[in-house]
Structure 1
C-alpha cells in the first residue's frame, strides 16, 4: 500500500491546482527555503484530519486558504485530495483505491469526502486509526519533531508506541467509555438527590393518604349508619303517628257526640225547669258559674302542664346544645394548643435558622480563604515551573549552541542559514502562540459571561422554585374551596330540581293538573311560579302569600271551568283558580308594599297588584303592629311572621326550605350559572396548577449548579493555559533575541567562537545549579499544595454540609407554618359552630323564659278562679237548698247529666294527652329531617339506607358516636393526598427503576474499561518489548556495536498505558546525563533509530521526512540514506531535503519553486529517466 497521488488547490501557497504523483519507492522534494516545500507536508497532515493550526504553522485554520498576493486574488476555498493504493487491504474499506478529500471555506464550513462520498471527520480518523498513517502518527516526521519526540513534553514519544501497538483505538474507546461513565455517575447523583426529596415527600403524602383513607372510610360508614338510623327513627315515628292520629280522630268524634248529648240533655233540662222560674234560674246561674270556673281552672291547669312540658323539651334541647358546645370548646382548646405549639416551634427555629445562616457564611468564608491560598501557592508553583522550563530551555540552547560551534565552526555560512531558519520558526511559533492566546481570551470572555449568566440563572431558578411551591399550595387551597362550593351548589340544584319536577309542595289537585293536563292549556301555571324576588324578600313573600302560592293562574274563565271539570271528573279534589281575564286592569298599591320588591311578567302585573299591593314588609312583628294600626294592610317580617288585617299573628319555627318555592325556576337557573362559573374556575385553576407544577419540575437547580461548577473549572483551566502560553511567548522571544545576537556575533567576529565555547561551561554549571534549587522549590510547593488540597476538600465538605443543614431548617419552618394555617382554619370552624349552638341555646332559653311567664300568668289566673269558685260553690249550695224540693223530681236527670260531664272531662284529658304526644313526635320527626338536610343537604325522602341486621338500635347509636369521636380525633385531612400520593409513588418507582438501570450501566462500563485496559496493556507491553529489541539493533547499526542504548518504561504506575518511556542513548566515548546533551546529529540518529525500530514492528505504508537529515554530517548521511533505502522495500518514503546524498537515493524528485511571489509551483522528474538519458 502506498500514496499514489496528492492534489492541492488553494492550499497555502499552492494557489493553482497541483497534482503530485508518487511511486512506491523513495520520492524527494527539494527547493530553496521559503518556496513552500513544507506546505506539501502540511497538506498531507491536513487532509489526514489534523485540527491543530499550530502544527500546520498557522494561527488559525482559515490561514491554510490561499490569502492572495499583489497580483492574485485570495481564494475562498482550500482543497486537498490524497489517493492511496489499498492493494494490501490495510485500510478497513472494500476499495482497492481510496481517495480522501478535505475542503475548507472562508465562511468556516468544511467538507470531508471518501471516494467523493461525503463523510465525517470521525470517519476519516477511524479509517486511519492504528494504521500508523494518522495525522499525528509516526508516518510524518519533521526536524522539530525529533526534539519533541526525544524531550517528550507532550507525550509525542508515547503516541508513536501506541500507534505501533494498535491501542489508539482502544484508548479512544476507553476515553468515550470514561466519558459515558462520568455522565452516568452524574445522572446517578442527580437521580439520587431527586430520590431523597421524592422519598421524603412520598412518605409524607403516604401518611396523609392513610389518614384521608381512614377518614373517608369512617365518613362513609358514619353516613351509612347515620342515614339508616335516622331513617329508621323517622319511619318508626311515622308508623306511631298513624295510629295516634286515628286515636285523636276517634277522640274528637267522641267529643262531638258527648257535646251533642250534653246539649240535648241541657235543652231537656231547660224545658223541665221552666216552671222553677226564679229559684231554678238562680240555681242554674249558680251552677253555670261554678261550671265555668271549674272549666277555666281545668283548662288553666291543662295549659300549665302543656307549657311545662314544652319547657322540659326546650331544656333537653339546651342540654344537647351544651354538650355540643362543650365538645367544641374541647376541640377549640386542642386546636389552640396546636396553634401555640406550632408558633412556639416556629419561634424556636428562628434562632436555629440564624445560627445555620451564620455557620453557612462562616464555612463559605473559610473555604474562600483556603481556595485563595491554594490559588496563590499554585500560581507560585507555576512561576517556579516557568523558571525551571526557562532554565532548562536556556541550558538546552547553550548545549545546542556549543555543539553547533564545535561542529559548524568551519562553515559559518551554514550556521547562519540555520539560525535564520530557527528565527523564522520561532517567529512562526510566537505568531501561533499569540493566535492561540487570542482564541483563549475570546473563549475566556465568553465562558466568564456564561458563568455570570449561570450564576444569575441559578439564583433566579431557586427563587422561582420557591415561588412555584408557594403558588401550588395557594392554588390547592383555592381548589378545595371551589370544589366544596361546587358540591354545595350541586346539592342545592338537585334539591330544587326535585322540588320543581315532583311538584310535591302543591296540593294533590294542583299537582294532578300540572303533571297530567298542563299541556292542554296555553298558560297554566301557579302563583309560586309567576313571582320572583331576591333572597332577602323570599321568605316574607312566601309567608305573605301562604296558601295563595298554590292558586292556579289561568288565562280565561272558560279555561278555569274546564280545568275544574277535569278535577271533578277524575275526583282529584278542589283547587283555587285565578282567571286573568276576570281581573281588573289595575288595583291600588300602597307605598313601600311588597309589590315593589317582586318581579313578574307584564301580563301578571294586575295579579301582582291584587295579591301584594297591600302587603307591607317590616323588620319585626312589633313594627308591623305599629305601622298597620290604622290600615287594612297585611304586615310580614323578613323572617316570615305575618300580621293579618284582623290583627292575628302567624308565627312559629321557620323551615330550612323557607322561601325556596318562590321563583324556583329562576333560582335554579342562577344556581346553574353559578355552578358552571365555579366549574370553569376549577378547570382554569387545575390547568394553572398543571402549568405551575410543570414549571416547578423543569427548574433543574441541581443541573444548573453542576453546569456552573463546570464553567468555573473551565475558566480556571483556560486562565492557566493563558498564563502558560504567555510564558512560552516570553521564552520564545528571548530565544529569538539570543539567536539574532548570535548571528551578529558570528558575522562580526568568527574568531571569538573559541572564547564563547569557554564561556558556555560556567553558564551551564550555573544553570544546572539553579535548576537543582528550582527543582527543590518545586517539590516543596507540590507538597504544600497537596496539604492545601486536603484542607480545601474538608472546607468544601463543611460548606456543602452547612448548605444542606440550612435548607433542611427552612423546610421544617415551612412545615410548621402550614400547621399554623391549618390550626387557624380549624379554630375558625369550631368557633363558628360554637357561636351557632350558643345562638340556638339563647333562642331556646328565650322560649323557656316566655313559657315560664305564661305558666306564672296561668297560675295567677288559676288561683283567682279557685277563689271565685269557692264563692260560687257557696252560692250554688244556697240555691240548691232553696230549690231542693223542685230538684227532687229531676234527680235522675242530674245523674245522667253528671255522667255526661264526666265523660266530657275524660275525653278532654285524652285529647290533650294525644295532642301533646303528636306534637312531640312531629318535633322529633322535624329534628330528624333538619339533621339530614343540615348534614347531607338532601330531603328525608331522598335518604337511602337501612339499619344493619346484626346490630341493635342502641349499638348503631353507640357506633355513630364512636365514629364521630374518631373523625374528631383525626381532624382535618388533605382530600387530594390520595391522588397526590399515587402520582408521587409512580414517580418514585420510575426513578428507582432508573437508578437501578444506571447502576447496571455503571457496572457494565467499569467492566468494559477493565477489559479495554487489560487488552490494550497486553498489546502495548508486547509491542514495547519488540520495539525495544529493534531499537538496540538499529541504534548500533547507525552508531557502533559497543554503544549503549535502551528503552525504559516506568514501573509500578497506576495506569500502565500512561507510564513514561525513557530513551537511554550513550554513543561511544560519551556518557551524557540525558538525551538533551547529545549533539544535533546524534539526536537525529537516535530518533531515526527509534522510528525504524517501530517500522520493524509495524511498518507504516508511507513515511514523510521533512528535513530530518539537516543536522547530519556526511558520514551519518550515508548511514541514514542506506537505512532509508533498506526500508523502502516495505515503506514508501517522501523526503524533503537539501542534502545531495539523500537526493541521490530517490527514485523520483520534485522541485518546488516560487516563480511568482507567494505562489508555489511543482516540477517533477524520474531519476531512472535521467540516468537513461545520461
Structure 2
C-alpha cells in the first residue's frame, strides 16, 4: 500500500487548492523557514484523526482554517483529502483506492468521509487499526519526537512497540472489558442494595396486604347496606318531588294574572310618555335655537375684538416702516461718497503695480546672466575635485588594507604566543583533572550508596502504605456492613414502633383502651410482656394466639373499670388476666418428652408476670423436629419450633407458616432489644469510624513522607557526578590531540604572517606614486576655486536684488486686490439697501389701505350685534311657555308610575313564592342528584342501576339501618391507614424480588465471563508483545551497528519483565569509546541515529506503508547524513518515505522534491521537481 495523493484547501497557510502527488519512493519537501513545509505533515496528521491542537502546533482546533492575508479573506472551510493505493489489501475494504477526507467549517461543524461517503472518526480509526497508519503512529516522526522517544515522554516508546506488535486492539478490548467489568460491579452493588431494600419491605407489604383484604370485606358490607338505605331515601325524595311540582304550578298561575295587569298599566304609561316626549322635543328645539342665536352673537362680538386688535397692529407697523425708510436713505448717501473715493485710489495703486512689475523683470534678467557664468565654472571645478577624490580613495584603500594586514600580522603573532601559553596551562590542568577525576569517582560511589538507601526506604514506605490501605479497606468494609445492619435495625425499630403505636392488627376495643388510660396508668398486653428466643417465636405465638390480646391487670377493679369504659363508649369487648387471682405456688412439673425442652425456658418475662407464663405454658414443650412426635401424655403439648404443628394427646393442628408469624409476640420487648442493639451498633460504628479516620491519617502521613522526589534528585545528582567524571575524562584524553593541533596551527600562523609582511612592502611603493599625483591635482583645483568664489558672491548679490523687487511687487499687488474687494462689497451693499427701500414703501401703502377697510367693517358689525340682542329676548319668552306645559305632563306620568310600582310589588311577592317552591323543588332534585353523584363516586352506580342491584331484605326500621351504616362507616374511618394497593404491590414486589434475584445471578455469571475474557486478552497480548519485543531488539542491534560500527553496544531492556504489558522500555546505547550512563549524555547526532535505529527496527518487524520524517536529519553531520540516506534508500523498497529537510545531501538523495514557498505573507504554495526526469542534465527549473 502506498500514498498516492494529498489535497489541501483552506488548511493553515494553504488557502488555495493544493495537490501533492506521491509518485516516488523517496520524496523530499523543502523550503525556507516559515514557508509552511511542516503544515503538509500537520495536514496528514489532521486528516488521519488528530484531535489535540498542541500536536498540530495550534492553540485551538479552529485555527487550522486559513486565517487570511492582506489580500485574501479568511477561509470558512479547511479540507484535507489523503488518497491511498490499497493494492495489497492492507486495509479491510474491497476498494483498491481509498480516499480519507476531513473537513472543518468555521461554524464548528466537521465531517469525515471515506471515498466521499460521510462516516465517523471511529470508522477511520478502525480502518487503519494495526496497519501502522495513524495520527500518532511511528510512521510520522518530527524532530521534537526524537527527544520524546529517547526520554520516553508519555510512554511514547511503549505506544510505538504496541503499534508494531499489533496489540493495540487487545489493549482497546481489555480497556473496554475493564470498563464493562466496572459497570458490572456497579450494577451488582446496586442490585444487592435493591434486593436488601426489597427483602426488608416484602415482610411489611405482606402484613399490609392481609390488612387490606380485611378492609375490602368491611367495605363490601358497607356498600350493601348503604345501597339499601339509599334506595329507601330515593323513594321518599321522588314523592316530595311530585308534590312540590303541583304547588309550583298553582303559584305560577297567580303570578301570570298580576303580570297581565302590569302590562296594561305599562301601555298607558307609554302613551303618556309619548305625549310628554313631544312637549320635551318642543322645549329642546326652542332651547337649541336660543343657544344658536347666543353663539352667533358671541361670534360677532369676537370678530369685533379681533378687528380692533388688527387695527392696533397696523398702526405699529406703519410707524416702524417709516423709520426704516429714513435710515436707509442716509446709508445710501454714505456708500455713494465712499465708492467714489475708493475708485480714485484704485486707479493710482494700479499704476504703481505696473512700475513694480517692470523693475522685477529687469532684476530677474541680471540674475540669469550671473547664473550662467557661475554654472560653467562650477562644472570645471567639480571635474577636478572628482579626479582628486578618486586618487585619494585609492590611497585610503591601500592604507586600509596595509593597516588590516599589519593588524592581522600582530594578531597572528599574538595568537602564537597565546597558544604557547595555553599549552603550558593545559599541561598543568591535566594534572589537576586527574586529581578531580579520582575525587569524583569517590563521590559517585557515595551517591550510589545514598540512592540505594533512599530506594530501600521508599520500598518500605510503599509496603507500609499497602498495609495501611488494606487495613483501611477492611475497616471500610466492616463499617459498611455494620451501617447496613444498623439501617436494617433502625427500619425494623421504626416499623415495630409504628405497629405498637398504631396497634395494627388489634381489635378496636384494644386500641381504644390503650389510648384512653383513665382505667389504668400503664395498660399491659400479654403479647408485649413476652420476649421469646427467635427460633421459637412462631411456635409460642401459635400456641398463645387466643391470649395475646389479653390485658394483664393487677386487680379485678382495673378490669371492671376497663369493661365499663368499653360499654359506655360502645367499643366492643376485651379480655383480662388478673395477677392477684393467680396462685403464687408453682404447678407440679411434668416429665419432658424425649428431644424437647420446656416452653417456659425459651420465654423471658419480668418477675411479676412469671407465674402467669408458667400457668399458660405448663406442660408445653418445644422440639426442633419437623416430624410429628409420638402421642404425648394427657396435659402435655408439644410444639414444633418452626410453628408447623401443635401436638396434644388427642389432637394435632398445623400447616404452612405465614411470613409474619412470630412478629406479633414480644413487640415491646423486641423494641427495647432493638434499641439496645441500635445503640451498640452506633457505638461500634463510631469506634470503627474513629479507627478508620486514624488509619486514614496514618495513610496520609505515610503518603506525605514521600521519597520519590528525593530519589530522582539523588539520581540526577549521581548522573551529574557521572557526567562530570565522563566530561573530565574526555577532556583529559583530548589534551594530547590539542597539543599536536596547536603546534601545527602555530606553524601555519607564522607562515601567514610572513606573507602579509611581504604584501605590505609592495603596497608602500604604490602609495608613493599615488600621493605625488594627488598633490598635482590639488594645485590645479586651487586656481579654479578663486574664480568660482568671486562669481558666487556676484550671484548672491543679484539674487538678493531680485528677491527684494519681487517682494515689493507682491505687496503692491495685494494692496490693489484689497481695494477691489472693498469696492465690490460696498457696491453690493448699496444695491441691497435700494431694494429694501422700495419693498418698505410698498408695504406702507398696503397697510394704509387695510386700515380703511377695517373702519368700514366695524360699523357693519355694530349694527348686526344690536339686531341679534333684540331677537334673543323674544326667544327667551317663547321658551318659558313651552317649559310650563312640559312640567304639567311630567306630573301625570309620575302618578301612573306610582300605581305601576304597587302592582310590581304584588308581582314580586308572587315571584318570591314561586321561587321558594322552585327552590324546594330544586333542592329535592339536587338531593336526588346528590344521591346519584354519591352513588356514582362511592359505588360507580346510577339510579337505574341502583334499582337493579340485589341486596338482602331489611326487616328493621330506617333508623336502625342508618345506625348500621354509620357504624360501618365509623369502623372504616377508624380502621386506620391502609395501603389500598398493598395486595397488588405485594404480588408485584414478590415478582420483582424473584426477577432481580435472577438478574443478580446473571450479572455474577457475566462478571466471571468478563474476568475470563480479560485473562485471555492479557495472555494473548503478552505472548505477542514478548515475541515482537525480542524480534525488535535483534533488529535494533543490527540497525544500530550499521549506523555506527560493529563494535558499538546497544540493547533494549524491559524494566518490569514480570508485567511486560505495563513495563517501561529502556534503551541502552554505547558508541565505541564512550561510556554514557544515560542516553541524554549522547550528542544530538547520536541521539538522532539511535532513535532512527529504533524506528527502522520497528519497520523491520512491521513495515509502515509510508514514513514521514519532519526535519529529523537536522542534528546530523555530513557523514551521518550519508548513513541516514543509505538506510532510507534501503527501506524505501518496502515503504514510502516523505522527508521534510533543509539538508542539501538529503535533497540530493531523494527521488523527487516539492518546494514550498511563500506566495504572500501568511500564504503558501507548492512546486514539484522530478529528479528522475533530469538524469544527465546540468540545469533544471521548477514550475
Specify if TM > 0.5.
no
Q: Taking structure 2 as the reference length, what is the TM-score of the superposition? A: 0.43
Q: Taking structure 1 as the reference length, what is the TM-score of the superposition? A: 0.43
